[in-house]
A and B are shown apart, each in its own frame.
Chain A
Amino acid sequence: MTDLSSTGPVRTGGTARRNGRGLTGLLLVSVPVALLGWLIIYPIFNAIGRTILRTDGTGPGFSLDTYVRFFSDGYSLANLWLTLWVTAVCAALLLAICLPLSLYLRFAKSRVAAVVQGLSLFPMFVPSVILAYALIRTIGPNGGVDLVLNALGLPKINSPYLTPWGPIIGLVWDNIPLTTLMLVAGLGAVSDNAVEAARDAGARPWAVLRHIILPQIGNAVLVVLSFTVLSIFSAFTLPYVLGPASPEMMGPFMQRTFGQVMDTRMAVTQAVITFAICAVFGAFYVRSIARNRKNGR
Chain B
Amino acid sequence: MSSPLSRRAFLGTAAASTAALALPRITLAADGFVNVYTGSDSNISDFWTNVILPGFKSVNADARVRVVDAGDGAGLRAMADRAMAALGTDSDPQVDLFEAYTPDQTEGSIDAGLWVNFATAGIDNMEKVNPAAKQTDFDLPYRGSQVLLAYDASKVSAEDAPKTWDEMTAWIHANPGQFIYNRPDKGGSGGNFVRRAIHEANGRDPQKFTLDNYSDAYAEETLPGAWDILNGLAPSLYEGGSYSSGNTQSIQLLAQGVVTMTPVWSDQVLQSITMGVLPENTGLVQLQDLALCGGFSRITIPTNAANLEVAKQLAAYVLSEEVQSKIITELGGFPGVTWDSVDAALREKYADVIPASIPTFPGGDWDAAINDRWYRNVAPGIARG
Contacts and interface: CB of A to CB of B under 8 A. Distances in A.
A231 B371 contact: no
28 contacts: A75-B376, A128-B2, A128-B6, A136-B249, A140-B258, A141-B253, A142-B258, A162-B243, A162-B245, A163-B239, A171-B2, A178-B4, A236-B1, A237-B1, A237-B2, A238-B2, A241-B245, A241-B249, A243-B245, A244-B242, A245-B183, A245-B375, A245-B379, A247-B380, A256-B375, A261-B368, A261-B371, A262-B368
A3 B3 CA distance: 15
Contacts of A240: 245
B382 interface: no
Contacts of B239: 162-163
A235 B185 contact: no
A78 interface: yes
A142 B244 contact: no
Given A175-B2, A245-B183, A246-B375, A141 B256 contact: yes
Interface in A231-271: 231-232, 234-238, 240-241, 243-248, 256, 259-262
B11 interface: yes
Contacts of A227: 4
Q: DSSP majority for the B interface? A: helix
Interface residues on A, range: 35 or more
Nearest to A167: B2
Shortest Cβ-Cβ A-B pairs, 10 listed? A246-B379, A245-B379, A235-B2, A141-B258, A245-B243, A162-B242, A142-B256, A246-B380, A260-B185, A261-B372
B242 A178 contact: no
Nearest to A131: B2
A39 interface: yes
A65 B238 CA distance: 38
B257 A142 contact: yes
Nearest to B248: A133
Interface string B256-300: 111000000000000000000000000000000000000000000
B25 interface: no
B380 A39 contact: no
Interface of B: 1-7, 11, 73-74, 183, 185, 238-239, 242-245, 249, 252-253, 256-258, 367-368, 371-372, 375-376, 379-381
B4 to A, nearest CB: 5
Interface of A: 1, 39, 75, 78, 124, 127-128, 136, 140-143, 162-163, 171, 174-175, 178, 227, 230-232, 234-238, 240-241, 243-248, 256, 259-262
Contacts of A235: 1-2
A238 to B, nearest CB: 6
B258 A230 contact: no
Nearest to B241: A245
B131 to A, nearest CB: 31
Contacts of B185: 256, 260
A240 B2 CA distance: 12
B214 to A, nearest CB: 14
Contacts of A142: 256-258
Contacts of A230: 4
B40 to A, nearest CB: 16
Nearest to B371: A260
A124 B245 CA distance: 25
Contacts of B375: 75, 245-246, 248, 256
Nearest to A1: B5
Contacts of A237: 1-2
A178 B4 CA distance: 9
Contact of B368 (A128, A234, A260): A260
B372 A260 contact: yes
B2 A136 contact: no
B5 A124 contact: yes
A178 B2 contact: no
Contacts of B376: 75
Contacts of A256: 185, 372, 375
A124 B11 CA distance: 17
A120 B17 CA distance: 31
Contacts of B249: 136, 241
B245 A231 contact: no
Contacts of B5: 1, 124, 178
A244 B182 CA distance: 11
Contacts of A244: 242-243, 379
Contacts of B252: 136
Given A256-B185, A261-B372, A143 B4 contact: no
Given A245-B379, A260-B371, A162 B244 contact: yes
Contacts of A260: 185, 367-368, 371-372
Given A236-B1, A246-B380, 18 more contacts: A39-B11, A78-B380, A128-B1, A128-B2, A128-B6, A136-B252, A140-B258, A141-B253, A162-B242, A162-B245, A174-B3, A236-B2, A237-B1, A244-B243, A245-B183, A245-B375, A259-B73, A260-B372
Which of A162, A231, A235, A240: most chain B CB closer than 10 A?
A162
Given A260-B185, A261-B371, A261-B372, A231 B380 contact: no
A248 B186 CA distance: 13
Nearest to A78: B380
Q: Max chain B CB contacts within 10 Å: which of A143, A243, A245?
A: A245
A83 B244 CA distance: 20
A293 B368 CA distance: 51
A236 B2 CA distance: 7
A259 B257 CA distance: 33
A256 B2 CA distance: 18
Among A136, A175, A256, A260, the one with the most B-chain Cβ atoms within 10 Å of its Cβ is A260
Contacts of A246: 375, 379-381
A178 B74 CA distance: 33
Nearest to A143: B256
B280 to A, nearest CB: 20
A140 B1 CA distance: 22
